[in-house]
Chains A and B, each alone.
Chain A
Amino acid sequence: MKYMLLIYNNPDNIEAMSEEEREAAMRGVDSILAELAASGEMIGGVALAHPSTAKTVRVVDGVPETTDGPYVGAKEMLAGYLTIEADSLDRAVEIASRWPDARHGAMEVRAVMHPGGMEM
C-alpha cells in the first residue's frame, strides 16, 4: 500500500530552533530516509521552499487570480512530503511519528489512490 506522508511545520518555529536542535532534526531525517531506502519502502519525496515564496492561484469568474503566500493561512504549513510503500497503515503511522516535524509540527498520513481496481 502506498502512502503519502505530508509534513507540516511552522517556519517561525524552525527558525527559532538552536543549531543543535536543527542538527538533531536533520540527523533524524537522514536516518529515516536511509532506513526507507534500504528497506525498499521509499518511493519519493520533496522538501518545499519557504511558504513566503508560494503563490496561490484561484480562478474567479473565469479569471485567474494570484495571491502571495500559501493556500491555507494556518500557522502550520506544508513543508514537503514523502511517498512510501508500507505493509500497513500502522507502519506508515510509525514512520510519521518518528519524523522530527511530528514533534513540533504535524505529519498527515494519506493513502495514495492506485489505478487498478477489483471486479465488483
Chain B
Amino acid sequence: MTIRTDIEDLLRRLTPQVLGALVRRHGQFEACEDAVQEALLDAAVQWPADGVPERPAGWLTTVASRRLADHVRSESARRRREAVVAALETPLEPVVPGPEDHDHTPDRDDTLLLLFLCCHPALSPSSQIALTLRAVGGLTTAQIAAAYLVPEATMSRRILRAKQRIKATAIPFQMPPPDKRDDRLRVVLHVLYLIFNEGYTASSGPELQRAELAHEAIRLTRAVHRLLPDDNEVAGLLALMLLTDARRPARTAPDGALIPFADQDRGLWDPVSLKEGVELITSTLARGPLGPYQLQAAIAAVHTEAPRLEETDWPQILALYELLSRVSANPIVALNHAVAIAMAHGPQAGLAMLRALDSDGRLADHHRLEAVRAHLLEMAGEPGPARDSYLLAAHRTTSLPERRYLEGRAAAIRKMRAPAGADENRDAAT
C-alpha cells in the first residue's frame, strides 16, 4: 500500500470524527461540512509532503475551525456580526498542540449521528447518497462525481441542495427518538446498500472509481456494525456485501464482458471475504430475529458452499427464498425466487411463477424479468422463444455489458439452430 493511500484511508476514517466535533461545537452542519472538506483537501496536499501530524484529528479540527471562522468572518463583514467571530475564535486550538493538550478528538464516534443526518427521509435518495459519501465517507465531490459519471458541478449542486434542505427543515444533529430509530436505521442501511450496488456492478468504464464505491460501502457498513454489533440486519448487510464483493474477480472477463453467475470460475472468488462473510452470517442467524439482509446473505453463503454450480443445495436456497418473500415482498426477490424454483423443481415451475409476475405490473417492462425468462426457456429446451426473450431483454436494458451479454446469448442460439425455424410464436411455446 502506498503512502498516498494510507493518508487517504486515514483522512476518510477521521472525517466523521472531525465533522462531528465541529458540528457539536458550532452547530451549522452545512458550513462545518464545507470547512471539513477544505481541511481534508489541505491535508491531502500537505501531509504527503510534510508527513502526517502527530495528532491528525486535532490538526484537521484546527484547520477546519479556522476555515469555518474565515467563512463566518467574510459573512459577517457583510452583515457586521463581529460578535459571532469573537465567539468562534475563542475555542480555536493551536495547530501544533502542546504536550498538555490531549488530542481533542472526542472519544465518541459521530459516524452514526452523521449517517442519520445524511440519510434523513426529507432528502432524496440521490442526495442522501452524495452527502453520505462526502460528509461521512470523506470523499471529494470530484471523486463522487467521477464514480456516478456526472460532471463535478452537477454533484456539487446536489450536495449543496441536500445541505440547504437540512438547514431549511432544521434537521437536528441528534439520535432519532427510540420509536423512530429502527425505521431511520433501515434508511441508512438502504443508502449503504445502494452505494454498494452502484460499485458492485461489472463495469467497462471507470472501473476503479466504481469498485471504490463498493469498498466505501463495506467500510461504512463495517463502522456501523462496530457501533451496533447487536443489530442483526446491520450484520446481515455487511455479510451480504462481503459475500457479493468476493465474486468481483470472477464477474468480469479481461475484456470487460460480464460473466454470469452460472459461468463464473469459483476458484476466483476471494476466499478472505467469503470466510468473513460466512462466519458473520452464521453467527448472526443463530441469534435471530431474521430480516431481509440476513436472508440474502444466507442465500449467498449457501452458494459459496458449492464448489460447482451443479452441487448447489437448491432446496435450501428455495427455503430461504420462501422466508425472504414473506419478510420482503419485492418483485426482484420474486424474480430470484423463480430462478430457485426452476433449479429445484425444473424450468416449467419457474416459468409459471414468471407468468404471475407478468401481471404484477411492477416488473412488466423490466429487462431482468425477460432475461430470467430467456434462461429458463433455454433450460426448458425452447431455443426459439428463449432467443426472443434474450433480444427483448437486450432492447430493454440500459447497461452496455448486459446488452452485450444478452445479444451474445441470442446470437449463440441462432448459431446453434441455424437456419431459424418456426420460433416466432413465443406465447404458444411458453
A-side interface residues toward B, CB under 8 Å?
Answer: 1-2, 37-44, 85, 87, 111-120
Q: Which 8 A-B pairs have the closest CB atoms?
A: A40-B158, A115-B205, A116-B201, A117-B401, A117-B399, A40-B157, A117-B402, A120-B260
Listed by A's residue number, 24 A-B pairs whose Cβ atoms lie within 8 Å are: A1-B398, A40-B126, A40-B156, A40-B158, A43-B151, A44-B151, A85-B150, A87-B125, A113-B399, A114-B205, A115-B149, A115-B205, A116-B198, A116-B203, A116-B401, A117-B201, A117-B397, A117-B400, A117-B405, A118-B201, A119-B258, A120-B258, A120-B371, A120-B402
A85–B126 touching, CB < 8 Å: yes
B399–A114 touching, CB < 8 Å: yes
Name the contact of B401 in the complex, choosing from A38, A41, A43, A115 (C-beta under 8 A).
A115
B371–A39 touching, CB < 8 Å: no
Closest A residue to B201 using CB positions: A116
| Chain A hits for B153, CB < 8 A | 37
| Chain A hits for B127, CB < 8 A | 40
- The count of A-to-B residue pairs whose CB atoms sit within 8 angstroms is 88
Query: B161 near A: Cβ within 8 Å?
Result: yes
Query: B57 near A: Cβ within 8 Å?
Result: no
Nearest-neighbour CB distance to chain A for B141, whole angstroms, equals: 11
| Chain B hits for A44, CB < 8 A | 151
Query: B155 near A: Cβ within 8 Å?
Result: yes
Name the contact of A39 in the complex, choosing from B157, B198, B206, B399 (C-beta under 8 A).
B157
Q: Give residues 386-430 of B contacting A (CB, 8 Å).
A: 397-403, 405
Nearest-neighbour CB distance to chain B for A19, whole angstroms, equals: 32
| Chain A hits for B204, CB < 8 A | 115
| Chain A hits for B403, CB < 8 A | 113
Closest A residue to B247 using CB positions: A119
Query: B210 near A: Cβ within 8 Å?
Result: yes
Nearest-neighbour CB distance to chain A for B102, whole angstroms, equals: 41
| Chain A hits for B247, CB < 8 A | 119
Q: Report which residue of B125, B153, B154, B198 has the largest number of chain A beta carbons within 10 angstroms of its beta carbon.
A: B154
Contacts A38-B161, A40-B126, A120-B261 given; indicate if A115 touches B400 (C-beta within 8 A).
yes
Nearest-neighbour CB distance to chain B for A3, whole angstroms, equals: 10
Nearest-neighbour CB distance to chain A for B112, whole angstroms, equals: 26
